[in-house]
Amino acid sequence: MFWEGVRDGTPFIVMVGPFALLFGVVAAELGLSLAETLGFSTLVIAGAAQFATLELLDAGAPVSVAVGTGLAVNLRMALYSASLVPYLGALALLRFQGREEPQASRLAYYAGAAAPICGIWILACALGAQAQSTVAAVPGLDFAVPLTFLAMVTPMLKDWPSVAAAVVAMGLAILGHQLPLNSGMLLAVAGGMVTGATLEGRREAHG
Amino acid sequence: MAELAPGTLWFTIAALGLGTYLIRFSFLGFLGGRTLPPLALRLLRYVPVAVFPALVAPQVLWPTATGGEFDAPRLLAALCTLLVGLWRRNVLLALGAGLGLLLVLELLRGL
């Protein structure tokens, strides 16, 4: 089952590889050592949150805001966690020995699928960090992170509540960008979330 | 990068890593088959569409690279990324288009 997972997970390296390279380049550009870059990529393994946290630290935000924003970006993973429960069961710690056969093989499949993706994520981050001095001369590379965020958000703008949430968050971030400690960011995120959820609720009520 | 006290970066990495792990472990490890209240689910759905535009908007208007001065090529590159992304729904293509346009505009500026 492990190797079936590896086979099914491998195509995703096409998606993950370029972002990992970019993270390596951006992190090195901001002066992170290779160890620090790989610390991010092996301990966090979440590109969007890594980019967001680095971006805020670079902007001089306090650690609490940088980490808080990174975690907010990752909150959606609670949904993934919940959606995996029917397949993997509740894998509470120390219950591995008594595992029933189908669950054990599903876990092997999952580990197999994750292996090439995590592997390429870490490897390409290291490559990007090493290549930074070569590509640093490319003009406009400083703007890669904002453009990456924009590119990532476009496939999510598939209904009006999502578009409204994005527009409100953008507007509040612009209005609040002078607020101390980058707190305008958090207000903007909260405003966007409430806008989206409210509009969705209203649409359902009318729907 | 703004000046950081020694250890701050590693503290950030550790805190983000631990928090992210706990989020991923939440239902698999602690909560099992329990479900979140509908309102929480609904709010969570809008976290990414709120976070990324909020991070991007000030950067587009006041880029770090230009010391916070408005910069037309960067605004155009952002619009290009947004439009290509909405049109083709392809993240890497959208990023490539925006970066490519900015590269061309920067090279033209140098002439």
Q: Which residue of B has its CA nearest to A74?
A: B20
Cα–Cα distance for residue pair A185/B50, rounded to 1 Å: 10
pLDDT score of A94: 41
Amino acid at B107: L
pLDDT in tens, A57-104: 988 889 998 999 899 888 878 877 877 777 776 654 445 445 556 677
Q: Is residue A150 part of a domain?
A: no
Q: Which residues from A are below 8 Å from B94, CB to CB?
A: 150-151, 154
For residues A194 and A191, give the distance between their C-alpha atoms in angstroms, rounded to a whole number.
5
Chain B residues inside the 8 Å CB shell of A193: 43, 46-47, 50
> Final residue of a domain: which of A145, A167, A186?
A145
The answer to whether residue A152 is domain-embedded is no
pLDDT over 60 at B72, yes or no: yes
The size of the A-B interface in CB pairs under 8 A is: 281
pLDDT given for residue A91 in this prediction = 58
Please judge whether B74 and A32 are an interchain contact, meaning their C-beta atoms are less than 8 angstroms apart.
no
pLDDT of residue A192: 95
In a domain, B92, yes or no: yes
Assigned domain for A121 exists: yes
Q: Are residues A42 and A120 in the same domain?
A: yes
Same domain, A41 and A141: yes
Has residue B65 got a pLDDT over 90?
no
The pLDDT score that the predictor gives to residue B42 is 87
The count of domains in chain A is 2
pLDDT for the residue numbered A132: 87
Chain A's closest residue to B60, CA to CA, is: A146
- ipTM, two decimals, is 0.85
Please tell me the total count of domains within chain B.
1
User: How far, CA to CA in Å, does B44 sit from each of A72, A75, A77, A172, A188?
Assistant: 9, 7, 10, 19, 15
| Domain hosting residue A198, numbered range | 157-207
Last residue of a domain, one of A111, A145, A179: A145
**B32 pLDDT exceeds 80?**
no
Does the pLDDT value for residue B98 go beyond 90? Answer: yes
Q: Is residue A48 within 8 Å of residue A20, measured between CB atoms?
A: no
Q: Which domain does B88 fall in, by range?
A: 49-111
Examine the domain organization and report whether A30 and A121 are in the same domain.
Answer: yes
SS3 string of A65-98? HHHHHHHHHHCCHHHHHHHHHHHHCCCCCCCCCC
Task: For A107, list phi and psi in degrees, rounded to 5.
Answer: -65, -40
Determine, for residues B55 and A52 on separate chains, whether the beta-carbon distance falls below 8 Å: yes
Give the residue on A whose Cα is nearest the Cα of B8: A63
- A154 and B82 within 8 Å at the Cβ level: the answer is yes
pLDDT of residue B14: 97
Cβ–Cβ below 8 Å for A63 and B12: yes
Q: Are residues A34 and A7 in the same domain?
A: yes
A183 and A131, same domain (yes or no) = no
pLDDT in tens, B20-29: 999 998 888 8
Q: Cα angle at B56 between A83 and B61, to 5 degrees?
A: 165
Q: Which residues 6-45 in chain B show a CB within 8 A of chain A?
A: 8-17, 19-20, 23-33, 35-36, 39, 41-45
CB within 8 A of A104, min separation 6: which ones?
none
Spans in chain A with pLDDT lower than 70: 89-102, 207
